[in-house]
Structures are given as structure tokens and as C-alpha cells.
Amino acid sequence: MERVMMKGNEALAEGAIRAGCRFFFGYPITPQNEIPEYMARRMPEVGGVFLQAESEVSAINMVYGAGGAGARVLTSSSGPGISLKQEGISYLAGAQVPCVIVNIARGGPGLGGLNPSQADYFQATKGGGHGDYRLLVYAPGNTQEMVDLIGLAFDKAEAYRNPVMILSDAIMGQMMEPVVLPPLREVAPDQPWATTGKRGRTKPNIINSLGLVGEDLERINTELQAKYARMAADEVRYEADGVTEADLVVVAYGTTSRVVRSAITRLRQEGKKVGLLRPITLWPFPQQILAELAAAGKRFFVVEMSAGQMVEDVILSVNDRAKVTFFGKLNGTVPTVREVYDRIGALLSEGGEG
Amino acid sequence: MERVMMKGNEALAEGAIRAGCRFFFGYPITPQNEIPEYMARRMPEVGGVFLQAESEVSAINMVYGAGGAGARVLTSSSGPGISLKQEGISYLAGAQVPCVIVNIARGGPGLGGLNPSQADYFQATKGGGHGDYRLLVYAPGNTQEMVDLIGLAFDKAEAYRNPVMILSDAIMGQMMEPVVLPPLREVAPDQPWATTGKRGRTKPNIINSLGLVGEDLERINTELQAKYARMAADEVRYEADGVTEADLVVVAYGTTSRVVRSAITRLRQEGKKVGLLRPITLWPFPQQILAELAAAGKRFFVVEMSAGQMVEDVILSVNDRAKVTFFGKLNGTVPTVREVYDRIGALLSEGGEG
Amino acid sequence: MERVMMKGNEALAEGAIRAGCRFFFGYPITPQNEIPEYMARRMPEVGGVFLQAESEVSAINMVYGAGGAGARVLTSSSGPGISLKQEGISYLAGAQVPCVIVNIARGGPGLGGLNPSQADYFQATKGGGHGDYRLLVYAPGNTQEMVDLIGLAFDKAEAYRNPVMILSDAIMGQMMEPVVLPPLREVAPDQPWATTGKRGRTKPNIINSLGLVGEDLERINTELQAKYARMAADEVRYEADGVTEADLVVVAYGTTSRVVRSAITRLRQEGKKVGLLRPITLWPFPQQILAELAAAGKRFFVVEMSAGQMVEDVILSVNDRAKVTFFGKLNGTVPTVREVYDRIGALLSEGGEG
Amino acid sequence: MERVMMKGNEALAEGAIRAGCRFFFGYPITPQNEIPEYMARRMPEVGGVFLQAESEVSAINMVYGAGGAGARVLTSSSGPGISLKQEGISYLAGAQVPCVIVNIARGGPGLGGLNPSQADYFQATKGGGHGDYRLLVYAPGNTQEMVDLIGLAFDKAEAYRNPVMILSDAIMGQMMEPVVLPPLREVAPDQPWATTGKRGRTKPNIINSLGLVGEDLERINTELQAKYARMAADEVRYEADGVTEADLVVVAYGTTSRVVRSAITRLRQEGKKVGLLRPITLWPFPQQILAELAAAGKRFFVVEMSAGQMVEDVILSVNDRAKVTFFGKLNGTVPTVREVYDRIGALLSEGGEG
């Protein structure tokens, strides 16, 4: 096992390659350009293909092509590019084509800025494209998870024949931390459903998302929903740190979870009972653990770099059985440890009084 | 006041023109092609501009141009096209450019089919594009509302400098009903903020959504959130039919609300206490009336042509104070009056036992 | 008749409108941007359409559409843009769709520069696109001809159902001279062959350039060649100034003809016998007058801003019956009157000795 | 040396690879699709890159990229596609980027048909793009030359830093003949002028065709013209078969040269003195041998599948010193041996009388 210092974006790229990804299609956009840059250099070394497409729309459709042929294929972008890819993502989901899509989120809406943001949560988890579909969405909390979760993402994409999204942000992508890299895997793209020629079968494989007759489309959707139910049942991941003994559970993911961790470390040193519940999958959302904690009388504090998106899923999970307080930093700035520390402190005193 | 028989799509198009819309940019997709077809013929008659763009992406960016110049501008599409427009929609919202976007939804995800669907609810209400933004979303329940709500949409778009969406579906678009058309309005595109030249001012108007410095972007987002709060406070619209005396309140919009209405008409004839709460704005969602009805002990039944999207907003509104049951027809088929009648009947009996 | 001072590019644009042109499609490129700019402002005033296309390729295909519907339609560009339009031009010629194409030539090849050039002569006259086709090519020699020849171009395009090109250059386009403008004509686009619906005919009009069966394609080409022969017989235009009495005939067009004129004015004052033969049509080329002058014993001097293109047509015309000398300024600089004066002087002495 | 039966298109593709070509960018068009198809399969086997671009315009610009990096790069198309590539070709010539461009010509103009044609001669030899530039143009006369000339094309492209064109046609591309294939060459793309990074040099290599200052552009063009003069002096290739003893010299290339050869074989058996002059380079054109034959009193007969294009170069070469007769089959059909035999026979009798 190698241990090396890497930027988040590069760790993610190398992690993808180690997991057998051999196709990358993308279009440049800050703050994720280290990913295509790394891929442009690295892919030829492993016999893979890097292609800078003529647009975000093209890139996601190339992903459809490679994924449909059973290959492990990656694309990455930031918010505006992910928006342009929504039609393609809906097609990939509808046609059950496995692939991994990375969003290194920046501030929005619109052109916005290059600061980190968590305001693409709804887009990732509720489906920014048309129709009922779901992506499995992972939110890495450190550079090691950039490597680990992208590997997992490729395995799950293939297992479920479903697009998987990594939702990270500008800080996670730029931050350097030591990582342990797994060995290089070669994954033969020989899926039985792939459109790579008949190979002796009587009937050709066909991949599409067409259901012109209503009943056909309903059947497609029933199959999809059954799959999403399996994913919801089996794929939830989260980190729970001191939640059982806590009075207040802070819910945060990605960059904000790091700020929260620093704040609660201090608060614990002062004897405060604060826990961290960090969703690692944003969809499926860790509803059950939150419902259980709510049933056990905990209160909740949600910290996001957005106007409040994940907080809806927290409320849907605890469903009026517990008090949920929200603190959001709007796109542009990151909450400081001090801000979070103060707010948790205030909530705890309030709770003590309550 | 003229009273004429019109298809929903055409009624909507004529309604837009009567409301002063003089620019239409779009790209063809079934089942909304009657809108561009009508506009292609009608726009020249009123001195307006119809342009079939080279792509959905182009169309939404042309909307940005015309809207930025202060004109009343419309685009329409169906699910896949609306997905392609997500980047543009986020830019329009971020730059506070007024415009109206119509989604005559069809089955999805992916290519899907031409049957009606309500599975684009999340896309419309939670923001399919990147960043924290909100559209005012109207869901017409009959052809007259196709005319009335698009008129309102243009007024509100201008009042709030915000994109407004009409979310309708393939059945609503094709159905013929008598409508009363309002008189033709001419609306001078002379907005003080529009980018139409300096006109004696010292500083030029600039429209964008750029906030490279974190604090600038935060200020933009704070301003947007304040506007969304005003919209949430002032713009909620719904139809409440017999909800006060009801044991069970059915929540439905658009085509499903019509099916529900037929079912509850029968049930009431049989003496059952059933009400209909039809959101006319999907965002802002009629949370308060639902919360009040929940507090008054009502139970809720949500009917959608989706795997369950609006039901989340109902749950968020009633927040565990009431039982919410969901019935969704997956993309492809429409619930029948009989199906809805039976399910409501079952729920009422169950409730009686409870 | 109005007499006004106008830039060449604007005079050409106004001349097009006066000649009934009501559609302009183009894409910006220096040094011809005054044409689209003028059209953007002026077209709405006359009920016409100005559209900036998304690319040069789109623009020429829009020309195909409007021209195929029988309308008077213009596009303009400079060298690189005209190159991108070659496929479209070949299609327009093959399908016999009338239109006018303006090339305000700049230095090349490649990106080149903004200086005037005559190095697009071969492209214009020999067909830069694929297949045997011919454009009628006019080369204005002053601003008045910018107005007059574009009017003529529209009439001839319609008369022959053929694309007509105006080949001018950056100096001609920028130069200001007084012009007399003709009255505004309205030309109804009601061509019997136009694809504007059946209008009571049994068979629809079809416009294309397809000839999959060899004999069909041969018939199309035979018809085209017969038309080109008629054009070659009837459409030659040139200005002959003092050629009968001259020992040396200078052949030049456009900007270089203006330099030559200044030089021979001086030479004549010194008693030298020099004439100017200025082709106004570059195709069909004034072969016969050149052949006659050659038969009468004249010598020829060809001046171009190119490495030597029109000189080939002069040689083909005089066919070894006369001496042809060439002087070309390569793209980038314009020949000075002094340079031309000196060279003619040298040739005359040489001739005197000969 | 391997001897194998191959189709012309495939022989050409394999020939390119054997000559070190490792990059192919193209867009599909009949009748040359065997080339990209072959390349798609073969390139990965030799570590090369095959990419089907999103358009002809993209393909030629990708050629610019690979060629600018010093690699041996090929694109192929047919007439309409070559027209779309004219801007790119002019840029390649202007920037002196080596590459090979193949035109497997089909009938035109416009959409035309799939029959062979020689009507793209002017486009290839006079420059279909803007500005004064020249391509070295090879016209293979049999399948072996498909292999040999494309190898030569890559060497010459590199030697002159100039685009080289292979102008062939639909029959040559489809015809199967035995060929001897040369061994596989690996050619390191390490050109001193290539834009592949500084590599220890002080100044970076820059490749462009920009000359905004007139004098700069003139210098670029002077350099280009000097190069073209060297090419004209050194690169002429032709096959002369029995021309010295002939009364009549038939000039033909490609497919028509094959028909002519059959006709003159018969005629010679009958004792007629007929020769064949087959240009192998269309530019530079074999002017000198034609001038010498004209001076020796020969008459000329030019056979083309066009309305008469190469015949202009023959006339320019013999320059009224000899009679030139033209026989052209318009796009769509190929001249038969009988037709050519009869016409030569008629010309010979006529000549006997003359």
C-alpha cells in the first residue's frame, strides 16, 4: 500500500484509475480542472482514453456510449457543467447505464464564483433532470475518501447499472492530505448486457430509455423504482461520532463536516455533549439512524453551505419528533469553526433551559 | 371578452401574447409543439419575434438576451429539453432576469414517452440547475388557467425579476376546453435595470451572475434569498374545495387533480367527507394551509403521476402531525377515476376504524 | 435620387435593401462587420429579418432556406468565413437557389490579417466548393458600384436561379465616397419554383441537389452547364478605358484598379499609351475582349494583390498570342501608385525596344 | 514484401499506417467510409488514435492540433466534407502544418450522388479556401499507388511542412487489386518546430497564421510562395506512356486514365499513334513535359469526369502552341472505353486531314 500526499482532485482521479476506469470524457471548468489534467497525462499510461469533448453535453453523451459498452467511465465538472449534463444524466439513469459523475461544486447560481458550495445538493439528490430517477450520491469527507468512494462508486455503478455521483466541493478538491492508494485493478468490460456486438447470442443487446407505449414506460419505471428501493435499503453510509451520548447531533457533510468536527472537538473538551452525524451517502439519505436518534430525544443542528437543502431531508427523517435548527452559509464563504462553535454553544444553553 | 374553444397548448400561447409576450425562442419536442407552431404563425401578426433555435441550450440563452433587455419572453419545452436548459435557468435566476419557461411534461426519465407525467416536480421546485435558486412554479388545472396563469406568470416574473415556470403536462396541453381570452396588452420593455443602452444614465446597467469574490457572491445570494422569502410569503396560490368539513384531504395538481375531482364528486354523493387541496403554485408550496388542516386533524392523500415527489412537500408541511398516504402512477399511465375512488374509499373506511 | 456619403460596406448593405433584400443571415468577422451592423438596425425598419447565426455554416444554410422560399437573401463574410461556407455554396449552386454572397476579402491564408487582399479570386471564380458549379462574380470598383452591382446581383441571382458573389476587399468596404441610391423596391417572393406550399398545384415544389442515380445527376449537371454557358455568353461586364489606342493594357479589378488608374493618368499625361481593362465580372471573365486586344497586338500587364490568380484567366484568354506580365503584391500590403507607375514605365520602354 | 488483395480505400488506410500515421480524425461520408472504419479497427493495434469527430469542421481542426505537435495525421472525406474543411485547410497551409487530406470524390455539386467524379480538381489545385496557398496534390492511378502515394504524401508533408492532398474517387476507392505493402514504419513526432513544449529551448515554438501587421503577413506569404516554387520545381510526377512517338497525347488521371489506357491499347493494336500523359501530381502540374510535347507538334486530348477543369491547366501549359480537345463526362457516369476509343479515332482522322 502506497502512502502519498495528494490533492483531493488528483487523489480522486488516481482512485478512479486504480478502480479500473479507462475512459474519461469531460470539458474544462474550474475548480475541477486538476481531474481532466491528471487524466490527460495518466490515461495513456494505463492504455485508457482521455478525451476533452467539445461541450459538457457531448461529454455526458460520450459517457453514455462508453458506459453502454460496459466500460468504467468517468466524467467530472462543476455546477454549471453538471446542469448542462442533466438531460444526459436522466438518459443514463433511464437506460440503466453505469458511470461515475463527479461534481466539484462551486458557488452559484449562474456563473457564480470559485468558492466551495453545497448548494447543488438538491440537484444531486432529487434529480436535476426530468423524470423519476435516482443517483447514488457519495460525499467524501477527506482526501482518503476521495480515493475510496470513487472506487466504491465504480463498483456500485456496475452492480446496480446506475449512474453514481460524487458530490464534493472546491476545498475538498484543492486540499492536500496523505492517502493510501489501492493497487491498480484491470476490469474487463464484459458485461452481459453491454452493446458490444452479439457474440453468439441470438438477440442483440439494446440499451435505451424509450417507452412510447404507456405500459412499457410504466414497466421501465417500476423496475427502476424497485432498484432504487434496494439501493435505499442496502447502500446507506454515514459516520456517527458520539451521537449516542450527545444532546445535540450536528448533521454535516463534506467541507462543513470538517469545520463542525473542529468545533465539537473544542466543545467536548469543555464537557459539552455534542455528536456528529456525517452522511456519506446523500442519496440514499441516512433516514433511519436520524429517526432513531430523534426517537431517543436528540436535537439536531444542520450546517450547510447553502440556503438550506439537506435540512429538508433531515426534517423528513426526524418528522417532527425532534427540533431541527439550520445554519447555512450562502455561497461564497465557508463557516468558520468559531461561528459553528458559538451557534452550537447557544443551542446547547437554550436546550438546557428547554 | 371572447369565449373560444382552444387546446391547452394554444390557449397558453395566445395567453402569453395577450400578456405582452413578444419574443419566443424554442426547439421542437413533443408534446408541446403546438406552442411553437402557434407562435410561429402568431408572433409576426403582433410584431413579435419567433425563432426556432439550433438547440435547447441556445433557446434558453436567447431568452437570457431578450429578458435582459426587459422584454417579455417565453420558451417552452418538455422534460428532456428542460433538462438541457438547466444551466441557462440557473443563470437566469442568478442574474435575476425575468422570463417564463413552460414544461409540458412527458414520461421519463431519459427519452421516455409522450404520455403525461408529473415526475418533473422536483426539477421544477427544488432547482434542477446548480446553486440555491427558486422559480415561481404554476400548475394550471384547466385550460382557462393555462391562459390566466401564463398572464400572471409574466407579471410576476417582471415584478420579482425572476424566471417563472408553468409546469403542465401532455394531457393538459392537448385537451380542448372553452376559454375566455383577456384583451391584448402591449407592454413596453422599458425596465430601468434592462441592458438597453445607457439612455442618459451615468453608469451602464450590467446583468450577470458573477461573484468571484466570496463576499460578493454571498451578497447576491442573500439578496436572492430575501426575494424568495417575499415570494414564499406573498405568492402562494391554491384551490381548497370542501377541506374544512373533510375527514380526508386529497392533494393533487394538474391532470391528477381533475381525476381526483371526479372521484370525490362521486364520493360526496355517497355522503363521504372528502376535500381537494389543489396547489396552484408548486413553489412556493401551500405549506401553511396544509399545516392548519393537519392541526385540525385531517388526514391526507397525495395523488401524483410520479414515484412520489410532491408528497415530500406535503410531509414537510404537515410534519408528522397527520397521516399522509401516497398513490403514484409511474410515468406512462394516468390514474383512473375508479382507482382513485377505490383508494379514497379504502382510506376512509380505514380511518373510520382508526 | 439621393446623393449621400457612405462607406462601401454600408452602401452595399443599403443597396441590398433597396433591391428588395429582406433577409440577412451572417456571423461576425472583420473587415465586413459594418454590413451586419447596418442590417441589424435597418432590416426591422423595412419589415425584414436580420439574424446573427451561431456560425458561418449555419448562416449559409439559413440562406438556403430563405432563398429556397423565393426571398431575396444576403449573407456576407470575409475569407475564413467564406471558406466555412463552401459546402453550403455548392449546395445552393447545385439546387439552383438564388442568393447573394458578399466577400469583403482580407489577407490570408489562415487567420491572416485585416489588410485587403485579392487572393480569394480562385475561390470565387473556380469554385471553392466541390463539384462543377459557377457563381456569377462581381467586383465593384468604387462605392457607387457597391450599390449598383448588389442590386444587379439580386436580379441576376433570381433570373438565373444561381448564387451570385460580390468579391470586394477591406479597402473598398471602408472607403467613403458619394453615392446615388436607387429607390426602395419591394420584391414579392412569389417564385413559381419556390418551396412555399402547394398553393393549388398538384405537385409540390422540391428543391435539392440530389442525384443518386448517375443519369439523374448527369441531367442536373447538363442543365447547370447549359445555364453557365448562357451566363458566360450574356453576363460579361468590364470597363475598357483607352485600350484601343494603347500599347499596353493593364488588367486589374477592385482596389488595384484604382491604383492602376492613378498611375496611368500620370503616364498618359506624359504621352504614354496605356489602357485599363477592368473586369467587372470575374466570372464570366471578359475573355473575348482580351482575345481581341491580343489579336490586335497589345501587350498585357496584370496587377493583383495576390501571388497571381486572375493572371491565369488572362493567359487563358490571350492564349500565347500576347505577352502577359504579372505584378502581385502578396497579402498584407497594397501596391502604391509609384510602384505601378514604375513598372508600367519599364514595360513600355522594354516594349519600345522590343 | 507482402502481396495482398485490397480495396483502394483500405489499401490507402493501411498505407498511411505503414508510413507512420498514428492519428486519424474524420467524420463519416460515403464513398470513403472504409477508411475510417479500417482506421477505427487498426489504429488501436499500432498504438494510434482514431477519433470520429462531431463534424467535418472539428475533424480538420483536430488535424491542426496533431499536425502542429509534429505527428503524422490523416483525415479523409468526400466532396461535401472537403468543402466544410476549407477554412481549416487554409489555416493548415498558412501555419505550415504538415498533414495528409484524402478526398474520395463523389458526384456534385451539393448533395450530388455516390458516383465517382473529378469535379473537385479546381478545389484541390487552385485552393478552395481563402488566400494564396497550395497543396501538393497526388492522384493515384491504381491501388498500388493508393499505398505508395500516401506514404510519399506523409514524407512530403513533413519535408515541406505543408498539407498534402490525395485526390481519388469512388471507383478507385472501391476497386480491389493486389498490392505490395511496405513494412511498418514508426516515425517519432519530434519535429524541432512542433508545439510540444519548450524542452530546454529559450523560446517556445509558436504555430499560427496570423499577420496583423501588413509587413508580417507579406513575409509569411513570401515564405510560402518560395516554398511553393521549390515544390513546383522538384515535385512534379507523371507517367508518360508512348508520348514521344504519338500524334495525339491523351491527358487523364485517376479512373479516367484507366479507361483511356484500355482505349489506346486497342488503338495501338490498330497501328494508331496515341500516347497517355497521366499527371500523378495535379499540383504542381506537369507543365514542362506538356510544353515540350506541344513544341514537338503533338495534339492533346483531355478526358475528365467534369465539365472541364484540368483542361485549363493543359491549355495554360501548352499555351496555344497546340490544339487541345476536351471530353468531359458530367458527374454521374464514367466514360466508357468505347466512347473514348471513338473520340480518339475521330480526332486522329481529323488530324490526318488537318
Whose CA is closest to C134, among C231, C254, C67? C231
Whose CA is closest to C35, among C135, C128, C166, C164? C166
B3-26 confidence digits (pLDDT tens):
899 999 999 999 999 999 999 999
> How many CB atoms lie under 10 A from the CB of residue C336?
13
Residue D185 grid cell = 514504419
Cross-chain residue pair C87–D80, CB shorter than 8 Å? yes
Can you tell me the mean pLDDT for C116-140?
A: 94
Type of residue found at D169? D
Q: What is the pTM of this model?
A: 0.88
A200 pLDDT tier (thresholds 50, 70, 90): confident
Distance from CA of D65 to the nearest CA of C (A): 14
What are the residues whose beta carbons fall under 8 Å from the beta carbon of D28, sequence distance 6 or more? D36, D52
- Residue C354: the pLDDT is 35
Secondary structure of chain C: what % helix, strand, coil (to 5)? 45, 20, 35
pLDDT at D354 over 60: no
Type of residue found at C140? P
- Residue B136: the pLDDT is 96
B160-192 confidence digits (pLDDT tens):
999 999 999 999 999 999 999 999 998 887 899
Distance from CA of B89 to the nearest CA of C (A): 20
pLDDT at C351 over 70: no
pLDDT at D352 over 60: no
Q: Which residues of C touch B58 (CB under 8 A)?
A: 54
pLDDT at A53 over 80: yes
- Residue B354: the pLDDT is 35
D351 pLDDT tier (thresholds 50, 70, 90): low
Chains that touch C (3 or more CB pairs under 8 A): B, D
C44-86 confidence digits (pLDDT tens):
999 999 999 999 999 999 999 999 999 999 999 999 999 999 9
C85-96 confidence digits (pLDDT tens):
999 999 999 999
Whose CA is closest to B98, among B135, B151, B52? B135
- Residue D289: the pLDDT is 97
Can you tell me the mean pLDDT for B40-50?
A: 95
Cross-chain residue pair D58–A58, CB shorter than 8 Å? no
D95-151 confidence digits (pLDDT tens):
999 999 999 999 989 999 998 999 999 999 997 999 999 999 999 999 999 999 999
- Residue B352: the pLDDT is 46
Q: Which residues of D touch A22 (CB under 8 A)?
A: none
ipTM: 0.85
- Residue D92: the pLDDT is 97
Name the packing angle between helices B214-234 and B86-94 (round to 10°). 90
- Residue A351: the pLDDT is 59
For D44, name the nearest residue in chain A, comparing CA atoms only. Answer: A47
Residues of C with CB under 8 A from a CB of B: 51, 54, 58
Most D CBs within 10 Å, among C169, C217, C285, C319, to test the D interface? C217
What is the per-residue DSSP string for B71-119?
A: --EEEEE-HHHHHHTHHHHHHHHHTT--EEEEEEE-B-STTBBSS---T
C189-202 confidence digits (pLDDT tens):
789 999 988 888 88
- Residue B351: the pLDDT is 59
- Residue B2: the pLDDT is 72
pLDDT at D331 over 60: yes
Q: Which residues of D touch A23 (CB under 8 A)?
A: none
pLDDT at C322 over 90: no
B260-288 confidence digits (pLDDT tens):
999 999 999 999 999 999 999 999 999 99
A83 pLDDT tier (thresholds 50, 70, 90): very high
Most C CBs within 10 Å, among B41, B50, B54, to test the C interface? B54
What are the residues whose beta carbons fall under 8 Å from the beta carbon of B161, sequence distance 6 or more? B96, B97, B98, B193, B227
pLDDT at C169 over 50: yes
Can you tell me the mean pLDDT for C120-146?
A: 95
C352 pLDDT tier (thresholds 50, 70, 90): very low
Cross-chain residue pair C54–B54, CB shorter than 8 Å? yes
For D58, name the nearest residue in chain C, comparing CA atoms only. Answer: C84
Cross-chain residue pair B54–C58, CB shorter than 8 Å? yes
pLDDT at A323 over 90: no
Instruction: Sort residue A74 into left (φ over 0), alpha (ψ -120 to 50) or beta.
Output: beta
Cross-chain residue pair A221–B126, CB shorter than 8 Å? no
Q: Which residues of B touch A80 (CB under 8 A)?
A: 87, 90-91, 130
pLDDT at B345 over 80: yes
For C122, name the nearest residue in chain D, comparing CA atoms only. Answer: D126
Through-space distance between the first and last CA atoms of chain A, rounded to whole angstroms:
51
Cross-chain residue pair D208–C110, CB shorter than 8 Å? yes
**Residues D242 and D275 sit within 8 Å (Cβ to Cβ):** yes
Percent of chain B with pLDDT over 70: 99
Rounded CA gap, B211 and A107, in Å? 8
A134-152 confidence digits (pLDDT tens):
999 999 999 999 999 999 9
Rounded CA gap, C62 and C97, in Å? 12
For A50, name the nearest residue in chain D, comparing CA atoms only. Answer: D49
> Which neighbouring-strand residues pair with C169?
C105
Cross-chain residue pair C54–B58, CB shorter than 8 Å? yes
Q: Virtual CA dihedral for D29, D30, D32, D35, nearest 10 degrees?
A: 60
**Closest in C129, C225, C315 to D83, CB measured:** C129
pLDDT at D196 over 50: yes
What 8-state DSSP symbol labels residue A126? I
Cross-chain residue pair A109–B129, CB shorter than 8 Å? yes
**In terms of C-beta distances under 8 Å and separation of at least 24 residues, what long-range contacts does A227-231 make, across chains too?**
A227/A96, A227/A160, A227/A161, A227/A162, A228/A134, A228/B307, A230/A160, A231/A134, A231/A136, A231/A160, A231/A162, A231/A284
D148-164 confidence digits (pLDDT tens):
999 999 999 999 999 99
Q: Which residues of B touch A111 (CB under 8 A)?
A: 91, 94, 208-210
CA C118 → CA A308, B223, C101, C139, D135, distances in Å?
Answer: 64, 57, 16, 10, 19
What are the residues whose beta carbons fall under 8 Å from the beta carbon of D127, sequence distance 6 or more? C109, C122, C123, C128, D90, D93, D133, D134, D135
pLDDT at D7 over 60: yes
For B57, name the nearest residue in chain C, comparing CA atoms only. Answer: C54
Better-predicted residue by pLDDT, A199 or A210: A210
Mean per-residue pLDDT of chain A: 94
For D122, name the nearest residue in chain C, comparing CA atoms only. Answer: C126
Can you tell me the mean pLDDT for B212-228?
A: 91
pLDDT at B328 over 70: yes
Can you tell me the mean pLDDT for B83-112?
A: 96
- Residue B329: the pLDDT is 87
Rounded CA gap, B302 and B288, in Å? 17
A289-313 confidence digits (pLDDT tens):
999 999 999 999 999 999 999 999 9
**Residues B225 and A311 sit within 8 Å (Cβ to Cβ):** no
Can you tell me the mean pLDDT for C229-245?
A: 96
- Residue A353: the pLDDT is 38
